[in-house]
Structure formats: C-alpha cells, structure tokens
C-alpha cells in the first residue's frame, strides 16, 4: 500500500493466520501476514513465542516438504519417523489471492451465503515416494490430527455434521488405509486427543454430549477397544 489510509495502516499490522505447538513443545509458532505501508506485496512470517516466558523470536524456516505439499498454510502434522505428512485441507480447494477473505482452514469456512470450501479432509503424503492419498472422504470437517507413536494410526476429530443436525465434535482413530473407527465415547463441544508413550490414547472432552451445558469435562484413556474415565478435578 502506497498510502497512509486507515485501511493501509490496518493491513500493515501483523495478522495471525495459524498457530501450532513447536516440535519440542516449548513454544507456540504463529504464522502471520501483513502488507507493509510501502509495498503492495503480502509478507508472510513465522514467530516462535516461548510458552513459559512469552519471549518472541523469529521461527525457523518452514520445512521445504511442508512448503511443497501444504503451500497454503494448511495444518500439517509430521509423523514421528519423519516419513509421512498428514495434511488437513479441502479437496481441490485453493486460495484466491484476489479475495483474501477466502481461505482453507481446518475450521468451517463460510460467508453470508454458505460454505466456501469443501470440508477439510485428511491426506497422507509419503515423503519417500511423494505419493499421497486421502484417508477421509466424506462431508464432515476433519481436524486436530495426531500421529500414534508407531506411525500406523491417526487420532482426529470430525465435526460440523454435513446434514447440519449435530453440532458436536467426535473422536476417531484412522488407519493409513483409511479405515475410520469411531471411538465409543461421547462427543463434545471441544475435544483434544493425544497419544501416550505406551500407545494408549488420552482424550479430553469439554461439555460432553448428553450432559447439561457447562458440565465438568471428562478425560478418557483409550486402550485398544477399551476405555475408562479419569476424574478431572474442578
């Protein structure tokens, strides 16, 4: 922008585009975009914010493989053995740089008319061969993917019922051939899952389905086909 209008000054500020936890889990990496006052080009940068101290520094360069297979800043998770990428993105959707309010994210994309992109699905890329395949292919929106320690399973949430009759998130485990197992635990308004070192799965459910709004969260430990609840202190 070569002027000093309110819009130009607004666009010159750093705008957060996406964020993720660093590999060492010590920092939050935030990707930002801005248009400097003396330029018409968008400047994309990454910043690492230390969780303990709040100190901000420039983040390391994005992995070239991630840039190659997720050029539009789609959420990417690298497998523990560094051989696979797991990407959440709309099938065939791209960013229209002439309409910056349109983008692809692992949350619902909409304008005043309705959904803009296809709902994000999960794609696995084999970095050894460059081959890719979809492991989900439906009308749900998939997000919050996590690799298992053995690189053979993926935890992921599905949300926003394509029939628009269900507003909950649900926990799932997916094999690399695309077999989806819906975990036999309640849905929730928000779900976070993580794999434990021994291969079990911990799933935290906020405002569980069937409980009154604002009810206490539940923490489930999933071991194969079995699950049990861990009490979460108030």
Do 25 and 70 sit in the same domain of this protein? no
The answer, as to whether pTM is greater than 0.85, is no
Q: How many CB atoms lie within 10 A of CB 120?
A: 25
Inform me whether the pLDDT recorded for 157 exceeds 70: yes
CATH of the domain at 188: 2.40.128
List, in order, residues 6 or more apart from 73 with CB less than 8 Å away: 17, 18, 31, 44
What is the average per-residue pLDDT within 60-74? Answer: 82
Do 81 and 56 sit in the same domain of this protein? no
Do 85 and 131 sit in the same domain of this protein? yes
Q: Given 61, 77, 103, which residue is the final one in a domain?
A: 61
Do 81 and 39 sit in the same domain of this protein? no
- The pLDDT-based confidence of 142 (bands split at 50, 70, 90) is very high
Do 148 and 53 sit in the same domain of this protein? no
Per-residue pLDDT, 138:
87
Query: How many domains does the structure of the chain reveal?
Result: 2
Do 52 and 76 sit in the same domain of this protein? no
> E-strand spans in the chain?
15-21, 27-34, 43-50, 56-58, 76-78, 84-89, 121-126, 132-134, 141-147, 153-159, 170-175, 180-182, 188-195, 201-208, 218-223, 226-230
- Displacement of CA 229 from its chain's centroid (Å): 25
Residue span of the structural domain in which 157 resides? 62-230
Inform me whether the pLDDT recorded for 2 exceeds 60: no
Per-residue pLDDT, 112:
47
Inform me whether the pLDDT recorded for 102 exceeds 60: no
Do 80 and 151 sit in the same domain of this protein? yes
Q: Given 61, 80, 108, which residue is the final one in a domain?
A: 61
Residue 125, strand partner residues:
85, 132
Average pLDDT score, the chain: 83
Do 132 and 26 sit in the same domain of this protein? no
Do 137 and 115 sit in the same domain of this protein? yes
Spatial strand order of the sheet with 43-50 comes to 15-21, 27-34, 43-50, 56-58
Place of tokens 């569980």: 208
pLDDT in tens, 25-64: 889 888 888 888 888 888 888 889 999 999 999 887 778 8
Place of tokens 């061969």: 129
Do 145 and 194 sit in the same domain of this protein? yes
Do 74 and 31 sit in the same domain of this protein? no
Q: Given 9, 38, 61, which residue is the final one in a domain?
A: 61
Question: How far is residue 119's CA from residue 137's CA, in Å, rounded to a whole number?
Answer: 9
């Amino acid at each position: 922008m070569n002027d000093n209008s309110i819009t130009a000054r607004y666009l010159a500020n750093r705008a957060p585009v996406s964020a993720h936890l660093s590999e060492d889990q010590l920092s939050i990496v935030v990707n930002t975009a801005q248009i400097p006052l003396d330029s018409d080009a968008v400047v994309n940068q990454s910043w690492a914010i230390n969780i303990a101290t709040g100190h901000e520094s420039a983040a390391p360069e994005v992995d070239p493989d991630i840039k190659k297979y997720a050029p539009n800043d789609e959420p990417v998770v690298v497998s523990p053995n560094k051989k696979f990428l797991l990407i959440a993105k709309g099938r065939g959707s791209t960013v229209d740089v002439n309409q910056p309010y349109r983008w692809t994210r692992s949350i619902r994309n909409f304008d005043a008319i309705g959904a803009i992109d296809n709902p994000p699905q999960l794609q696995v890329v084999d970095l050894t061969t460059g081959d890719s395949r979809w492991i989900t292919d439906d009308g749900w929106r998939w997000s919050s993917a996590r690799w298992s320690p053995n690189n053979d399973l993926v935890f992921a949430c599905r949300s926003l019922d394509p029939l628009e009759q269900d507003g909950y998130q649900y926990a799932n485990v997916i094999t690399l051939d695309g077999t989806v197992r819906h975990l036999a635990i309640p849905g929730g308004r928000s779900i976070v899952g993580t794999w434990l070192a021994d291969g079990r799965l911990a799933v935290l459910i906020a405002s569980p389905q069937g409980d009154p709004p604002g009810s206490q969260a539940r923490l489930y430990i999933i071991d194969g086909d079995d699950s049990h609840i861990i009490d979460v202190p108030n």
